[in-house]
Structure 1
Amino acid sequence: MSGSLRVSGKNRQAEPFDERFDFWHGGGGQWRIERDGEVVYLAADEETVFVLIDGELQRQSGGRIRMAWVGSMFSPLDLLGENSLLRKMSSGMRASRGADRIDIGGRAAWLTELATSKGDGNIELAFDDATGLLVLLRSPSGGLLEVTNLAVHDQIDSERFTWDGPVADADPGKDDPLVQAAQRIEILSAISSALDRPQDLLQAVSGTRDGHQAKAAVIDLLGVTDTGADAVLAMQIRRFGSAEKGRIQAELTELRNYVADYSTTDR
Structure 2
Amino acid sequence: MGVSWVELIGRNAASGSVMVSGALRSLGSDRGTELDESYRFWYAPTDRWRIEIDGEPVYLSGRDRSLVRIDGHMTLLDGDIRMPILGRGVSPLQLLGQNSLLHSMSRDVVVRDEPRAVDVGGRRAWAVLVGDRSGKNGEISIDESTGVIVRLTMSAGSGSSEVVELTEHASLPDGLFEWDGPVVEAPSPRGRRARPDPEVGRQERSEVLRACVTALDRSAEVLSLMQRAESEEDAIRRLVSELGVTTVGAQAIAAMQMSTFRPDIADQLRRALADDENNRRC
Give the CA deviation at 1:152: 1.0
Give the drift of 1:92. Answer: 2.2
- 1:43 equivalent in alignment to 2:47: no
Measured in 2, the distance between the counterparts of 1:57 and 1:16 equals 27
Identify if the C-alpha distance between structure 1 residues 16 and 168 changes in structure 2 by more than 3 Å, giving closer, same or farther. Answer: same
- Residue of structure 1 in register with 2:72 after alignment: 55
Amino acid at match of 1:48: R
**Structure 1 spans left out of the alignment, 5+ residues:** 181-267
Q: Within 5 A, what are the aligned runs for 1:187-206?
A: none
8 Å CA contact 1:68, 1:75 repeated in 2: no
Deviations 1:226-259 (A, max 9, x none): xxxxxxxxxxxxxxxxxxxxxxxxxxxxxxxxxx
Task: Give the TM-score, by structure 1 length.
Answer: 0.60
**TM-score of the pair, normalised by structure 2:** 0.57
- 2:74 and 2:182 in contact (8 A); partners too: yes
1:154 match: secondary structure:
coil
1:2 aligns with 2:18: no
Instruction: Provide the secondary structure at the position in 1 that maps to 2:93.
Output: helix
2:222 aligned residue: none
**Cross-structure match for 2:112:** 96
Deviation at 1:177, TM superposition (A): 4.4
- Distance change (3 Å), C-alpha of 1:141 and 1:27: same
Q: Does 1:125 align with 2:143?
A: no
Deviation at 1:168, TM superposition (A): 1.6
Look up the match of 1:144.
Answer: 160
Structural mapping, 1:1-267, within 5 Å: 1-11=20-30, 13-45=31-63, 47-61=64-78, 65-120=81-136, 122-142=137-157, 143-170=159-186, 177-178=192-193
How far apart are the structure 1 equivalents of 2:125 and 2:190? 42
Amino acid of the structure 2 residue aligned with 1:51: V
Q: Once the two structures are aligned, what percentage of the paired residues are identical? A: 38
1:64 Cα deviation after fit: 6.4
Contact persistence 1:65–1:177 (CA under 8 A): no
What's the offset of the Cα at 1:82? 3.8
Distance 1:118 1:18 in 2: 27
CA distance in 2: counterparts of 1:37 and 1:155, whole angstroms: 21
How many corresponding residue pairs? 175
Q: Deviations over 1:156-209 (max 9, x none)?
A: 0111111112222346x66964599xxxxxxxxxxxxxxxxxxxxxxxxxxxxx
> For 1:57 and 1:176, how far apart are their aligned partners in 2?
23
Which structure would you say has the larger Rg? 1
Q: State the shift of 1:34 in Å.
A: 0.4
Cα RMSD over matched residues? 2.3
Deviation at 1:96, TM superposition (A): 1.1
Structure 2: distance between partners of 1:8 and 1:91: 26
Task: Assess if the C-alpha contact under 8 Å between 1:51 and 1:69 holds in 2.
Answer: no
What is aligned with 1:210? none
SS at match of 2:150: strand
Partner SS state of residue 160, structure 1: helix
Structure 1 residues 179 and 18, CA gap change in structure 2 (3 angstroms): farther
CA contact (8 A) 1:94 1:116 kept: yes
